[in-house]
């Protein structure tokens, strides 16, 4: 009993002594932080996704206060957060565009040809290193879902070997863009009325592209010919849509024999 009492007293005393010294030190070495940092941090989503280009939300908030970062750089929070931060900083913010991930491949399992059996690590990164593992197309989606793993917001689900992006959940942080070893995902502005995108990244010649995949661009150039606004041009083996000229008529998408030109945000695999 006596032993317990002595232990408690000595350890408690030591603890109290150190706590006292530390509390003095804390007062003496206190760092004056701009209260705005804390306020901005409260507004930010706090996911530390790195979409703004800074290591953490705190880091980003500190940079805003310092004036190094713009108030609307948080892609996750979007418009609302930008307005809130602008209010705290006392500045005005322009319109921020919502950007979402877009996958430049639409070949599901069964539509893309296999060239071998693959029993290795089920990751796109690993499969890409060994020449795309079993996938015949050297540009297409490997389908092991590295992007799904990278997404912090649960916006990507792998459906039949192709990532399906939930536009309502996608915040445009760009983690999937970095995760894809084949650079098939890009961030595209969403809030336009109609816009058409090329959902194929194959730079193969037409014949080869036709052999390896059912949903590939075969560089036929029909889209370029039918476009009434001179907005669609062939570049190497793929069409490129000039957004300045595109009026969203959709003729190219209708005429494409391989259905690789799609309207963004409305088709079945990109749920809105």
Partner 1 sequence: MKIILLFLSAALVNNFVLRYFLGICPFLGVTGRIESAVAMGFATTFVMTLTAAIIWVIDYFILFPFHLFFLEYVAAILVIASLVQFLEMFIHKSSPTLYRALGIYLPLITTNCSIFFLALLIPLRGYNFVQSIIFGFGAGMGFTLVMFIMAGIREELDFADVPKPLQGAAITLILAGLLALAFMGFTGLIGV
Number of residues near partner 1 (by CB under 8 A): 15
Q: State in angstroms the smallest separation of the CB of 28 from partner 1.
A: 8
**Beta strands at 238-241 and 232-235: parallel, antiparallel or unpaired:** antiparallel
For residues 2 and 241, give the distance between their C-alpha atoms in angstroms, rounded to a whole number. 85
Q: Which is nearer to partner 1, 26 or 168 (CB)?
A: 26
> Which residues in 5-64 contact partner 1 (CB under 8 A)?
6-7, 10-11, 14-15, 18, 21-22, 25-26, 29-31
Q: State in angstroms the smallest separation of the CB of 122 from partner 1.
A: 23
Q: Are 184 and 103 in contact (CB under 8 A)?
A: yes
Q: State in angstroms the smallest separation of the CB of 116 from partner 1.
A: 25
**Burial call 30-44: b when 16+ CB within 10 Å, e when fewer:** eeeeeebbebbbebb
SS3 of residue 82 by DSSP: helix
Give the gyration radius of the chain's Cα atoms: 26
Q: Are 76 and 173 in contact (CB under 8 A)?
A: yes
Q: State in angstroms the smallest separation of the CB of 175 from partner 1.
A: 22
Q: Which stretch binds partner 1 (CB under 8 A): 4-12, 81-89, 148-156, 230-238?
A: 4-12
Helical packing angle, 78-89 and 35-43, nearest 10° = 160
Based on the shown chain and the rule CB under 8 A, indicate whether residue 272 belongs to the binding site for partner 1: no
Q: Which is nearer to partner 1, 13 or 94 (CB)?
A: 13
> Which residues in 70-89 contact partner 1 (CB under 8 A)?
none
For residues 242 and 12, give the distance between their C-alpha atoms in angstroms, rounded to a whole number. 73
Q: Which is nearer to partner 1, 23 or 191 (CB)?
A: 23
Q: State in angstroms the smallest separation of the CB of 173 from partner 1.
A: 23
Partnered with residue 235 across adjacent β-strands are 238
- The residue ranges that bind partner 1 (CB under 8 A) are 3, 6-7, 10-11, 14-15, 18, 21-22, 25-26, 29-31
């Amino acid at each position: 009993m006596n032993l317990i009492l002595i232990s408690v007293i000595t350890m408690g005393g030591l603890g109290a002594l150190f706590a006292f010294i530390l509390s003095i030190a804390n007062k003496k070495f206190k760092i004056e932080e701009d209260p705005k940092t804390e306020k901005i941090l409260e507004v930010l989503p706090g996911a530390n996704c790195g979409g703004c280009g800074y290591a953490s939300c705190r880091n980003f908030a500190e940079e805003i206060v310092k004036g190094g970062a713009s108030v609307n750089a948080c892609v996750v929070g979007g418009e609302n957060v930008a307005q809130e931060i602008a209010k705290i900083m006392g500045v005005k913010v322009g319109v921020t565009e919502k950007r979402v991930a877009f996958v430049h491949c639409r070949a599901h399992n069964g539509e893309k040809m296999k060239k071998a059996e693959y029993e290795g690590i089920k990751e796109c990164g690993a499969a890409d290193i060994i020449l795309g593992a079993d996938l015949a197309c050297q540009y297409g989606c490997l389908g092991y879902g590295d992007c799904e793993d990278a997404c912090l917001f649960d916006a990507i689900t792998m459906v039949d070997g192709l990532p399906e992006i939930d536009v309502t959940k996608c915040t445009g942080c760009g983690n999937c863009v970095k995760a894809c070893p084949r650079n098939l995902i890009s961030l595209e502005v969403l809030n336009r009325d109609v816009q058409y995108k090329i959902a194929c990244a194959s730079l193969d010649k037409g014949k080869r592209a036709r052999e390896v995949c059912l949903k590939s661009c075969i560089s036929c150039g029909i889209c370029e010919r039918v476009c009434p606004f001179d907005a669609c041009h062939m570049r190497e083996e793929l069409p490129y849509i000039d957004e300045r000229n595109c009026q969203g008529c959709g003729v190219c998408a209708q005429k494409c024999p391989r259905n690789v030109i799609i309207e963004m945000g409305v088709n079945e695999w990109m749920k809105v």
